[in-house]
Amino acid sequence: MSNSTEFEVFYDGDCPLCKREINLLKRWDKQQRIQFTNIAAEDFSAEEIGIPFEDLMAEIYGRLPDGSTVKGVEVFRQLYSAVGFSWLVGLSRIPGISHLLNFGYRVFARNRLRFTGRCNKESCEV
């Protein structure tokens, strides 16, 4: 992660829905607080960050400036905070809403390939 960024997100650049959200966040990231790392890029190495590639494909991950990692809905909270939507992040932490978001994200993450038309003949698993 570069010195000027506040958060690094590891995203699947081959996922159409993921790319759409990342492109939106890139437009909103006027102060370049986020480092966007495409795990589908040919030059990406999961070993360099210490998270197995299968884990990165199964769920979205992010890295904080201190090197600690977060995953799932917390990644989106960090991203939206970085682009100035802290009020939305606050709402996402309300009990009930938080549980619903976590559940919804888990369903999406488990079915991402199916939802985005990327299943192959043998499997539809990440």
pTM of the model: 0.84
Please report the DSSP string for 102-120 in residue order. Answer: HHHHHHHHHHHHHHTT---
- Give the bridge partners for 63, in sequence order: 8, 69
Interval 66-105: pLDDT, tens: 999 999 999 999 999 999 999 999 999 999 999 999 999 8
Structure tokens that stand for 53 in this block: 């590639």
- Give the bridge partners for 10, in sequence order: 37, 61
The answer to whether 6 touches 32, Cβ cutoff 8 Å, is no
The answer to whether 112 touches 15, Cβ cutoff 8 Å, is yes
pLDDT band for 116, please (50, 70, 90 cuts): low
pLDDT at res. 16: 86
pLDDT at res. 89: 92
pLDDT band for 114, please (50, 70, 90 cuts): confident
Exposure b/e, 9-41, CB count within 10 A at least 16 = b: bbbbeebeebbeebeebeeebeeebbbbbbbee
Interval 1-34: pLDDT, tens: 655 679 999 999 988 888 999 999 999 999 999 9
